[in-house]
Structure formats: C-alpha cells, structure tokens
Amino acid sequence: MQRRKVTLKLYPNAAQAARLEAWTRLHCELYNAALEERIDAWHKARKSISYYEQQNVLPQIKADRPEFIALGSHALQQTLRRLDLAFQSFFRRVKAGQTPGFRRFKAAKRFSGFTYPDPAGWKLMQHGGRGATLRLGSGDAAMSIRARGRHRFGDQAKPNDITLTRRNDQWFVSVTLRVPDAACARQRTGDMRRGVDFGINDWATFDDGRTIGNPRWLREELPRLAALQRQRARKKKGSLRFKRLGRRIARLHERIGNRRRDFVHKETTRMVRQCAVLATEQLAPKTMSRSAKGTVDAPGRRVRQKAGLNREILSAAFGMAHPMLAYKAEEAGTRLHLSNTRQLKPSQCCAACWELVPKTLAQRVHVCPHCGHTAPRDRNSAMVVLIDAHNTQDTPGTGVAARPKPLSRQRGKSRPVTRETPATTPCVERRESSYSVA
C-alpha cells in the first residue's frame, strides 16, 4: 500500500458554501480558544496543557454549543492536533537554538480549512469521467457537494482522509488515497538514456539536442499584473475596491501557478515515460536565486538584473520539476541520476575531453580549446551529466553514454546520487495534484 494525494475542485452551491464558511469559522474559533487556554494556563499557573487535556473537553463544548456537533468529533480533534503540532515544532526549534515565532491567533478569513483524519463523516464518490460528489456530515447537516477532478489509480485506490481548503474564494478537497503498489506503477514506452539540462532560455535541453521551450507564463502576464497592482495602489487601503483588486491579483497569480504546474506535470511525465535512464544535475533554486542586493556597506552589483533573472529562475519551477521527476521515475522504474553540480560542474566541463572550460552565463556555446569540441552550452552539460550517469554504473549504455569513458578528473570524490528503483518499492508519501482548476 502506498499513499498518494490528489486535489479535487469543489463546486458548492450558495447554501453549501455558506455552511463550509461557517464550519471553517467554528474550527478557527476552536483553534483560537485552545491557543488562548494554553497561553492563559502558562501565564497564570505555569502549567502546560497537553493535547489530551484539550481533547477531553470537546464533549463538554459540544454540549454547550450544539453547532459544533455537525463538524464531527474527529475533525474537531484534528484541529486541536494541528495546534499541538505547531507547539511541538515551536519547542523543538527553540531547543535547537532557533528563534521561531510564537503561535498566533488566526482570523477566520485566514484560516485555511479543516481535516477529516479518517474515513468517517464523509464519502467521496467518483462517477466515471471527471465528475465526483463529496458527501459531508450526516443527518440534517449532510450535504452533497459537486466536485471535479480525477486520479489515475482506478477503483482500487481507497480514500483515507480529506482536507478541505479555501483559496481565493474557491474550495478544494485534498484526498489522501491508499493505493496498492501495482496501481502506482507507470507504463514506460521507451528505453532511452537521456541527459537533460534545465535552464531559462530553453526550459529543458536534452543531450541529443532536442529542447523544450520555456513558456515564461509569468513574464507573459507581468504587464497585466503590473496594471492591476498600479490600479490597486490608487485605491484607498482597506476599501471595497482595494480588496476587489487584491482578489483579482491573487486570481491571476493562481492562474499562472496552475499553468506552470500543469506544464511541469506533463513534461516530467513524458520524460520519465520515454527514458530508462534519465540524468540531470542537482539544482538548488534557492541558492541560484539568491538576491544580489548585498548589505548597506557592501551593496551588490546589477541588483535589478539579478532580480529579473531570479524571477525567471523561480518561475521556471525547477524546484517543482525535480521532486516530480523523482517520484515519477520511481513509479516508472526509470533510473534517475542526479550529478553533483559542485564537483562535476556540467556547464563548465567538456563532454568530449572532460577538461574544465570556464564560461560566463552569457556564453551560450561551448567551444573547447583543448579538443575543439563545439556544442550549445546546455546540450554540452546534458551530455556531461549523461556520461556521469554512465560512469557511475558498470553496464554499457547506448548513444552518447556508450562512448569510451573519458579520463576522469580526480577532483575529490564525486558522490552523485543515483536513485535506482523498481516500480514496486514501498515509498514515503508522495504528492500528486490533479489539474483541478478549470
């Protein structure tokens, strides 16, 4: 059994939306009350309150406030658990010498939603195609909400728990499925061995010279985003029109994010499906997109340019592509090889003679002064990582990887990571979100 997560979009009618809203408010109230109790007990009596003490009060709360009954006891417990987890991680970080912020009271508007931690109090029914119905609550409080979205695991997948969340005035249900190992496996249609280099000019470049263009969703929408933000800046802060524009800005960001996620899902799926070996380098988008601002005493250079580059680096979603490749490769039985970027330096290394050829970011073509090998920069690095993948195992490959092994540069021990996994290894929880937004 494995766990997979899928997200469906909900289409509640007005009455259902109002009730979901009200339930969220009650959960928020419970959360804040539990937080206050913990703070008070500590201030007045130096006493810490445990999760179980708070859980044991729930029946009393339901007796005093019958509106809590419809929420389901396990969902209420889960909200208390959420607070407890927050406290645990707070104290863990304090112990580790960090300075975490203390738990804050939350406004109902900002409270994201609530969770049913087990298959009780709700039922999810798929009706073929993309339609589904989510049934919540029981008795008079029961409601059947229309939902849209589909997962690929078939009937054997059993929903285990759900989280309802509200984002930009839309409701989503995130479902954890328990899926038999066999149903997780992906069909592979090819046995290629490919190196791939992710970049900004082309989103991906393969060692055979094939490229996938970078759609640049964010850059396309920047003028519209800027126009909305300018409009909002002219409104009085906190006014109705200010808020209305804020919602439009949030929606635009959401749409950009949806398109980006959709693209990355499709392309990573295709890569994994076609390849038996897929080599790329370890990336650190966080380090790559570090600000050039510097400090007051030592201001950085070309800060605006770097900010623009950073925006593109983050928008290209490498941070999203890698985890997706990792879990999809596992499901398809593809060997995913991640070269150690610092040691191998794929963009500087020559794929033909393995010498280092230093280049600036602006130099798009690799011309080797040692052996004369010439290739587009990204293609060269894709070839380098593929050779690296080949060098770290004994079996001969095909294509570029089958070439005679270049002399290795003995620059310390290279410790690249190789994930080689048949489709049926048990694995930790993976996330897979469906394209649930119309």
Are residues 168 and 254 in contact, defined by beta-carbon separation less than 8 angstroms?
Answer: yes
Of the pair 5, 359, the CB lying nearest Zn ion is at 359
**374 vs 299, 352, 365, CA distance in Å?**
38, 9, 7
Binder among 370, 374, 398, 411 for Zn ion (CB under 5 A): 370
Cα(61)–Cα(59) distance, integer angstroms: 5
Is 349 a binding residue for Zn ion by CB under 5 A? The answer is no
Is 162 a binding residue for Zn ion by CB under 5 A? The answer is no
Tokens 């003490």 sit on residue: 53
DSSP reduced 3-state for 188: coil
Is 356 a binding residue for Zn ion by CB under 5 A? The answer is no
Question: Which of the ranges 131-139, 172-180, 316-324, 353-361 carries the binding residues for Zn ion, by CB under 5 A?
Answer: 353-361
Is 351 a binding residue for Zn ion by CB under 5 A? The answer is no
Question: Which of the ranges 19-27, 131-139, 234-242, 344-352 carries the binding residues for Zn ion, by CB under 5 A?
Answer: 344-352
Binder among 124, 279, 352, 437 for Zn ion (CB under 5 A): 352
Is 367 a binding residue for Zn ion by CB under 5 A? The answer is no
Is 387 a binding residue for Zn ion by CB under 5 A? The answer is no
Is 86 a binding residue for Zn ion by CB under 5 A? The answer is no
Is 350 a binding residue for Zn ion by CB under 5 A? The answer is yes
- In angstroms, what is the minimal distance from the CB of 373 to Zn ion? 4
Of the pair 114, 354, the CB lying nearest Zn ion is at 354
Of the pair 158, 373, the CB lying nearest Zn ion is at 373
**Alpha helix (H) ranges present in 204-317?**
217-233, 240-274, 285-288, 303-315
- Provide CB contacts within 8 A for 150, sequence distance 6+: 126, 129, 130, 132, 434
Is 373 a binding residue for Zn ion by CB under 5 A? The answer is yes
- In angstroms, what is the minimal distance from the CB of 384 to Zn ion? 11
Site for Zn ion (CB under 5 A): how many residues? 7
Q: Using CB under 5 A, list all residues that contact Zn ion.
A: 350, 352-353, 368, 370-371, 373
